[in-house]
């Protein structure tokens, strides 16, 4: 079988699959599942073009990794053939642990577990199936490989993951503020003291990268209507689990039913191989098929929430710098109780608060280092003459207050 395939990507053009092992990993059911998981959760309800998947993103990040490897090798860095393949596999599989609708339901299906933890579990399982050929890739992914800069290409504040998703999400949403000069940034990469650096002439491209990331968070990832849609999906899952735990049965897929009918801790999930196998069967279609079934439920809360999602009747969302007043919240809860003739617990599905955070650059957490012409290394916020970058390193916290629109006076 010919495994030298080419994928036509709308962002980068033709992408070559670099090895037979990489081809076999892409063909594996664990990876093919990513075709059915949207990259941006419920964002398509705001930006209709945002229907791209984790599969798209993983292939794109793999392509950028190939460019980064070529750039560093051309600058005299020693990266062996085995390390090149390990890097390629590590970035290809970095998101393989995402569940349905990506971040929207993260830590909801399985409590207190991140997709990175599940990705590592799936990579370990693949390593068994491929007779240990992923061992090097896993060490790079975990950061235990002796060459620390290899891990930074996979996971850091300037990794190939962020390089791809900013441009890709910008492309599919049509939000041009997210476009970055990924080609130029990659060409400016270098290594000093076993750490990824950016040559001084790439400073302005890094400034644009950080500003673009901040703008994409406010305009796309934390857009108030996106928040409304994803909160609604989470409330649907919470209510369906509450009913399932009380003995209610739904005609849904076995995999989704498995995670609804029990609360699984991180420790239990990590220790039980069958849980991982069942999780690997889940994708967006399981959830949306269930939402359509639940829309005919005899439970008022679940039925109403599902109808609202299907028909895009989303929550009203207030985003403020200060927490909403308790009196204001209580007033809306009372409205919900009276209007829907429901209990206070049931009203909490229609009126609730949360908070969001935006931090474009975590200063001190794997800093973006600039390699100055004199050979010195300095943080981007110190190397740049753009005073706005210091502000980007501060976390902005805002409060959200969600409530059903028919509760508005």
pLDDT, tens digit, for every residue of 362-396? 766 678 999 999 999 999 988 888 877 777 778 88
Q: Are residues 343 and 280 in the same domain?
A: yes
- Rounded CA gap, 144 and 121, in Å? 16
Q: Are residues 110 and 204 in the same domain?
A: yes
Q: Are residues 183 and 204 in the same domain?
A: yes
Tell me the CATH number at 108.
1.10.3210.10
Q: What is the pLDDT of residue 50?
A: 97
pLDDT tens-digit profile of 204-257? 999 999 999 999 999 999 999 999 999 999 999 999 999 999 989 999 999 999
387 within some domain: no
- Rounded CA gap, 198 and 262, in Å? 48
Q: Are residues 71 and 216 in the same domain?
A: yes
Q: What is the pLDDT of residue 365?
A: 66
pLDDT tens-digit profile of 9-41? 999 999 999 999 999 999 999 999 999 999 999
Task: Write the burial class of residue 248 (CB in 10 Å: 0-12 exposed, 13-18 middle, 19+ buried).
Answer: middle
Q: Which of 309, 311, 348, 345 is nearest to 332 (CA)?
A: 348
Number of domains in the chain: 2
According to DSSP, the residues that pair with 402 across neighbouring strands are 317, 352
Handedness of CA 243, 247, 249, 255 (dihedral sign): positive
- Say whether 162 sits in a helix, a strand or coil: helix
Instruction: Calculate what percentage of the chain has a pLDDT beyond 90.
Output: 84
362 within some domain: no
Q: What is the pLDDT of residue 325?
A: 93
For residues 154 and 87, is the Cβ–Cβ distance under 8 A?
Answer: yes
Which of 407 and 23 is assigned the larger pLDDT?
23
pLDDT tens-digit profile of 302-331? 999 999 999 999 999 999 999 999 999 999
Tell me the CATH number at 248.
1.20.1250.30
Q: What is the DSSP letter of 38?
A: B
Q: Are residues 11 and 127 in the same domain?
A: yes
Q: Are residues 187 and 245 in the same domain?
A: no
Tokens of 361: 């650059």
Count other C-beta atoms under 10 Å from residue 57's C-beta.
24
For residues 176 and 169, is the Cβ–Cβ distance under 8 A?
Answer: no
Q: Are residues 131 and 86 in the same domain?
A: yes
Residues 6+ positions from 397 with CB-CB distance below 8 Å: 355, 356, 357
190 confidence band (pLDDT: 50, 70, 90): very high
Q: Are residues 245 and 299 in the same domain?
A: yes
283 within some domain: yes
Q: Are residues 87 and 189 in the same domain?
A: yes
Q: What kind and span of H or E run contains 78?
A: none
Question: End-to-end distance of the chain based on CA atoms, in angstroms?
Answer: 65
Residues 6+ positions from 180 with CB-CB distance below 8 Å: 163, 166, 167, 205, 208, 209, 212
Mean of the per-residue pLDDT values of the chain = 94
Q: Name the one residue in this structure whose structure tokens are 């990266």.
A: 79
Residue-number span of the structural domain to which 251 is assigned: 224-356+401-407
Residue 137 in this model has a pLDDT that exceeds 80 = yes
Q: Are residues 209 and 247 in the same domain?
A: no
For residues 190 and 33, is the Cβ–Cβ distance under 8 A?
Answer: no
Q: What is the pLDDT of residue 39?
A: 96
Q: Which of 128-132, 267-271, 347-351 has the lowest mean pLDDT?
A: 267-271
Q: What is the pLDDT of residue 187?
A: 97
Q: Are residues 161 and 251 in the same domain?
A: no
Phi-psi region of 368 (alpha: psi -120 to 50; beta: other; left: phi over 0): beta
Q: Are residues 62 and 171 in the same domain?
A: yes
392 within some domain: no
pTM > 0.85: yes or no:
yes
């Amino acid at each position: 079988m010919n495994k030298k395939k080419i994928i036509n990507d709308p962002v980068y053009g033709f992408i070559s699959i670099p090895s037979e092992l990489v081809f076999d990993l892409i063909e594996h059911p664990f990876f093919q599942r990513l075709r059915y998981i949207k990259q941006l959760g419920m964002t398509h309800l705001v930006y209709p073009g945002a229907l791209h998947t984790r599969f798209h993103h993983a292939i794109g990040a793999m392509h950028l990794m190939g460019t980064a490897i070529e750039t560093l090798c051309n600058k005299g860095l020693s990266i062996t053939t085995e390390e090149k393949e390990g890097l390629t596999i590590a970035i290809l599989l970095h998101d393989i642990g995402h569940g349905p609708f990506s971040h929207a339901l993260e830590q909801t299906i399985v409590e207190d577990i991140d997709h990175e933890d599940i990705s590592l579990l799936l990579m370990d399982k693949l390593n068994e199936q491929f007779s240990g050929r992923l061992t090097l890739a896993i060490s790079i992914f975990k950061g235990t490989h002796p060459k620390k800069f290899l891990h930074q290409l996979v996971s850091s504040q300037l990794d190939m993951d962020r390089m791809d998703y900013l441009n890709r999400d910008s492309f599919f949403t049509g939000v041009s503020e997210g476009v970055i000069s990924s080609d130029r940034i990659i060409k400016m990469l270098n290594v000093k003291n076993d750490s990824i650096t950016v040559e001084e002439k790439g400073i302005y491209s890094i400034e644009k990268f950080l500003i673009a990331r901040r703008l994409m968070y406010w305009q796309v990832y934390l857009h108030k209507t996106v928040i409304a849609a994803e909160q609604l999906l989470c409330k649907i899952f919470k209510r369906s689990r509450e009913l399932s735990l009380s003995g209610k049965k739904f005609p849904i897929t076995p995999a989704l039913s498995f995670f609804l009918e029990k609360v699984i801790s991180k420790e239990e999930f990590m220790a039980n191989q069958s849980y991982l196998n069942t999780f690997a069967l889940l994708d967006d279609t399981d959830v949306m098929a269930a939402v359509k079934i639940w829309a005919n439920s005899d439970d008022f809360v679940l039925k109403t929430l599902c109808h609202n999602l299907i028909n895009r009747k989303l929550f009203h969302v207030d985003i403020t710098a200060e927490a909403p007043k308790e009196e204001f919240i209580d007033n809306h809860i009372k409205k919900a109780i009276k209007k829907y003739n429901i209990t206070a617990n049931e009203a909490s599905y229609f009126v609730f608060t949360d908070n969001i955070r935006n931090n474009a650059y975590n200063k001190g957490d794997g800093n973006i280092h600039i390699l100055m012409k004199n050979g010195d290394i300095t943080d981007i916020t110190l190397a740049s003459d753009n005073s706005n970058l210091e502000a980007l390193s501060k976390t902005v916290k805002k409060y959200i207050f969600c409530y059903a629109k028919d509760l508005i006076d």
